[in-house]
């Protein structure tokens, strides 16, 4: 997305967009200056099922989706772009301009360099399924599962969830996102996990990955 969108936005317009301004001015700028017919047309094309299936997300995702992908993401994006939260969103900045400028993510901030360097030996990279990592390292206390469940049909989702729960210590947490396909482990396995709804709702509201529908945190019983 970053490589494709920043060519559609003028640098001067982007500078004004990310400049600090009151909520009313941010909303006005989005609706009057940014949200043009050209922006809407390019958005619908880029986030169409055809383009996303061919050049973006795995085609398996499209099989589980119901409804218009471009319409859903446009509405999510509009809510973010018209709010002051957009002004310090480094993901949005990189997506629209191709660079971070002053909005550096944590791993690029100078004050975090020493801590990252000191802990590099604790980082292990493994390509493959989460289940394989469980087999190699044993049970985990926390898992960040991105939005992997959206690519699975309900049967595979249930089987995978069971294996991940078995590989998580009691009291451990499973964190994941939903974009358009509803997947909640607590709904299919309520006897095994508890959804931390209040905390998940709070984090969803401030999530810089604004295009996702919800961020979910489940605790293994």
For residue 98 the two structure tokens come to: 């191709």
Is the model's pTM score more than 0.95? no
Work out the mean pLDDT of the chain and round it to a whole number.
89
- Is residue 148 within 8 A of residue 178, CB to CB? The reply is no
| Angle ∠(164,165,169) on CA atoms, nearest 5 | 110
Confidence band (pLDDT; 50, 70, 90) for 42?
A: confident
Burial class (CB in 10 A: 0-12, 13-18, 19+), 147: buried
At residue 55, the pLDDT reads 63
At residue 2, the pLDDT reads 42
Confidence band (pLDDT; 50, 70, 90) for 3?
A: very low
């Amino acid at each position: 997305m970053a490589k494709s969108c920043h060519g559609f936005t003028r640098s001067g317009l982007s500078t004004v967009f990310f400049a600090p301004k009151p909520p009313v001015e941010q909303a006005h700028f989005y609706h009057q200056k940014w949200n043009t017919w050209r922006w809407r047309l390019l958005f619908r094309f880029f986030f169409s099922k055809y383009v996303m299936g061919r050049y973006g997300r795995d085609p398996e995702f499209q099989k589980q989706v119901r409804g218009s992908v471009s319409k859903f993401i446009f509405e999510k994006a509009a809510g973010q772009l018209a709010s002051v939260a957009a002004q310090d969103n480094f993901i949005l900045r990189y997506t629209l301009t191709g660079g971070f400028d002053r909005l550096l993510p944590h791993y690029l901030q100078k004050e975090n360099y020493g801590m990252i360097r000191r802990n590099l030996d604790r980082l292990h990279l493994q390509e493959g399924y989460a289940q394989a990592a469980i087999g190699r390292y044993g049970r985990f206390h926390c898992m960040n599962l991105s939005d992997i469940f959206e690519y699975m049909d309900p049967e595979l989702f249930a089987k995978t969830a069971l294996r991940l729960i078995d590989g998580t210590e009691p009291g451990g947490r499973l964190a994941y996102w939903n974009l358009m396909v509803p997947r909640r482990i607590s709904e299919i396995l309520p006897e095994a996990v508890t959804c931390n709804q209040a905390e998940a709702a709070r984090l969803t509201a401030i999530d810089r990955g604004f295009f996702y529908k919800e961020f979910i945190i489940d605790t293994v019983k």
